[in-house]
Structure 1
Amino acid sequence: MFKGLPLLFILLLSTPALAENWPAEQWPNGAQITGPALQALESYAFAPRDDATRTGVRTDALLVIRDGQLIYERYAGATTADTPHLTWSISKSLMATVLGVAYGEGLFTLQDPVVKFYPALNNPAITLADLLHWASGLDWQEDYEYAPLKSSVVAMLYTRGHADMAAFTAAHDSFAQPGQAFRYSSGDSNLLAAALKSMVGPSRYADYPWTALFAPLGIRHAVWERDATGTFVASSYAYLTARDLARIGLLMARDGRWHDRQLLPRDWVAFNLQPFAGYRASQDEAVPGGHWWLNREVDGAARPWPDAPADTFAALGHWGQALYVIPSEQLVIVRYGDDRDGTYRHNDLLKLAMKAFAAKVQP
């Protein structure tokens, strides 16, 4: 039947395609990892810790997916496989993923002004791309426990801004022209959540993260808090189990595709993983993309996580929450913790994880 066809084409036709692994209700199990490299990783991630002072690395969950299969999982303390854990600022990347579905529906473009969807902003120059780059130009102060008096985010989450977080953010003055300078802002993320409400309409909004993203991925136990106006707190308050968060990582690792469905447009994922042009090196713990964090060289500076591959990207949250995606190694790593003293280092865990789990032996 192959008469007259080139040999290479015959081989392609006669060679079965490699099957991809995808989770159903549960993750399929892969070969379990053992050995000294894993022991070194566990010694770092699950080291004895002084809970009275809350110092030192404290990992609540560590889960590893390789090629769509669960190859490692460990929990500590009160956290179990069924615990929706507070993700803190991983919520920002989750909102970007939800927005990707809306983008695929044609509900907005990246260059749309935010006022088209949230008129209270009163600045027609700020685009949705600016918010996704944390580059609104609003004079936002992202300071946490040690500077509460001047902190915009503390005021937004806990005091005068908590009832309507988008309105609180919109009332800030500007420090730069939109799109020109990176300044990490939980307020920018909550403006995105408010804009989404107008994009999808009030009848769809309350369930939209579930119908658009969570249900198609098989995520069953997500919780996402809202402020008094019903707007999702996109900056901080999504809760997912480690197994469910790993589904987001696999979706992103496979360019927005879930089984045979292109849930996120490829150009949306490409935007998420493109460094913001206005970023200057050494401003943060990684390079900002479109509401994701990248392990890229910028301005001649070394990669933020030098012991991880250059294609590594992540969703990161306060006190050491992390979703790492390493496409070149087909790895997705979820790490939940409670690291309040700054001891935990992304590169330290990634270096040890690469030695334990990467397909290629690491030096």
Structure 2
Amino acid sequence: MLSRPAPLIALLLSATSLASCGPSGPPEPPPLSEEALAAIGEDPGAPTKALARETDELFTLDGLGETRALVVMHGGKIAAERYAPGYSERTRFVSWSMAKTVTAVMIGMLVADGQLRLDAPAPVPRWQRPGDPRAEITLRQLLQMRSGLEHTEAGDPPYESDEVRMLFLDGRDDMVDYATAQPLEAEPGTKFEYSSSTSVILADIAARALTDSRSPDARRKAVADYLHARLFGPLGMTSAVPEFDRSGTLIGGSLIHATARDWARFGELLRNKGSVRGEQLVPRQWVEEMVKPSPRSPQYGLQTWLNRPVPEGMEQPLFPNRAPHSAFSAIGHMGQYVYVSPSQKLTVVRLGHSNAEERRAMLEQLADVIELYPAS
């Protein structure tokens, strides 16, 4: 019987040993924490472990900023809910610009009530003087951020922007006076310019439709009562607290506070086209109008961001390459989102604090969550 040379036997044994130690596939992900698993509902509509991992990473990955609250609703049920330390289901979170979408809903209800007309000139007293070109601005153009008014949302330095001046500096006591005083920089309807000042003008139009009084207390009460009686109360948004300036104008572009669950209720209202438990709070046609692309901005409807592709160089704060184009969102400063995707039966609320660079990375992670739900 022939025997193999010792060096050859050693080489074969070494190769066998190395093969057994080599990778047999992709590395196993780390085990899920109890907190990650506890955040997932009993019937989440997506694979439980995958949803737990993707939502966990919104809270734990570096470079995304701080996620403070997350609520995922699928088919009207909570699929996932989680809060960062120091926050809970009772915490009221500031809307920032998500308030704009609430303002649009209020305007739509007043249009349905016959108090306002969408394509009529906006009823702004200051603009009605003979020869004032701003008299041509329509309510629709204000809602679509194409009024043509000279509003600068972000400036360098920041304190020179209209948003900062109106909210915190010389315009803070009478915000609508500041906003309506600005001249035209473009013909009404021809230019898209995102503007919190525009949303304050809309809030003032709503107040004027609800009361003839110029008393700040009367204006504040008229709008607050209307919102609570017609929207927040029937919707179950019992935590909602709208803020007003000293003149009694709703700060309709920036400051409404509510819990994450109540923001999810608002998203569900829009997903169901204005209906809650069989009651039509907002006309179906109005919600459909809110999510139609503006002729000057395919990614914007009526005070609402749309998940639509845009030409190169135009801002798109969502992810049309990763989610249905029928999806839309209320979006607020520093990463507040009420994302709604009717074809996925999905509403996702993410609240927190992310700067511009972190927000881009955070949105990709949020898209990872959303992609777990196929569109019907």
TM bracket, shorter-chain basis? 0.7 to 0.9
Does residue 1:204 correspond to 2:193, yes or no? no
Deviations 1:16-40 (A, max 9, x none): xxxxxxxxxxxxx651462135313
Does residue 1:308 correspond to 2:305, yes or no? no
Contact 2:223 2:250 in 1 (8 A): no
- How far apart, CA to CA, are the structure 2 residues paired with 1:150 and 1:110? 32
Match of 2:105 in 1: 97
Does residue 1:348 correspond to 2:364, yes or no? yes
Helix, strand or coil at the partner of 2:199 = helix
Letter in 1 for 2:368: L
Residue 173 of structure 2: which of 158, 163, 178 is its match? 163
Match of 2:59 in 1: 46
- How far apart, CA to CA, are the structure 1 residues paired with 2:187 and 2:351? 36
Match of 1:259 in 2: 277
Match of 2:43 in 1: 31
Does residue 1:134 correspond to 2:145, yes or no? yes
Contact 2:323 2:371 in 1 (8 A): no
- How far apart, CA to CA, are the structure 2 residues paired with 1:360 and 1:198? 42
Match of 1:180 in 2: 190
Letter in 1 for 2:135: P
Q: Which runs of 5+ in 1 are unaligned?
A: 1-28, 50-54, 282-286
Letter in 1 for 2:90: D
Helix, strand or coil at the partner of 2:324 = coil
Does residue 1:59 correspond to 2:76, yes or no? no
Letter in 1 for 2:295: A
Match of 1:278 in 2: 296
Helix, strand or coil at the partner of 1:322 = strand
Q: Which runs of 5+ in 2 are unaligned?
A: 1-40, 129-133, 212-218
Contact 1:132 1:291 in 2 (8 A): yes
- How far apart, CA to CA, are the structure 2 residues paired with 1:274 and 1:292? 9
Match of 1:296 in 2: 308
Deviations 1:170-201 (A, max 9, x none): 11121111111100000100000000011122
Letter in 1 for 2:358: T
User: How far is the alpha carbon of 1:272 from its aligned partner?
Assistant: 0.4
TM-score (normalizing by structure 1): 0.82
User: How far is the alpha carbon of 1:206 from its aligned partner?
Assistant: 3.4
- How far apart, CA to CA, are the structure 2 residues paired with 1:159 and 1:245? 29
- How far apart, CA to CA, are the structure 1 residues paired with 2:356 and 2:292? 31
TM-score (normalizing by structure 2): 0.79
Contact 2:72 2:78 in 1 (8 A): yes
Query: Comparing both structures, which one devotes a greater share of its residues to helix?
Result: 2
Match of 1:331 in 2: 346
The 1:56–1:71 alpha-carbon spacing in structure 2 relative to 1, beyond 3 Å, is closer
Letter in 2 for 1:42: D
- How far apart, CA to CA, are the structure 2 residues paired with 1:149 and 1:220? 35
Helix, strand or coil at the partner of 2:230 = helix
Does residue 1:221 correspond to 2:235, yes or no? no
Contact 1:307 1:350 in 2 (8 A): no
Match of 1:111 in 2: 119
User: How far is the alpha carbon of 1:268 from its aligned partner?
Assistant: 0.9
User: How far is the alpha carbon of 1:48 from its aligned partner?
Assistant: 5.5
Helix, strand or coil at the partner of 1:95 = helix
Number of residue equivalences: 317
Deviations 1:32-78 (A, max 9, x none): 462135313421x11255xxxxx742100010111110110000032
Match of 1:230 in 2: 248
Contact 1:308 1:350 in 2 (8 A): no
Helix, strand or coil at the partner of 1:335 = strand
- How far apart, CA to CA, are the structure 2 residues paired with 1:131 and 1:30? 44
Contact 2:343 2:375 in 1 (8 A): no
Match of 1:88 in 2: 96
Letter in 2 for 1:320: G
Helix, strand or coil at the partner of 1:334 = strand
Contact 1:37 1:352 in 2 (8 A): no
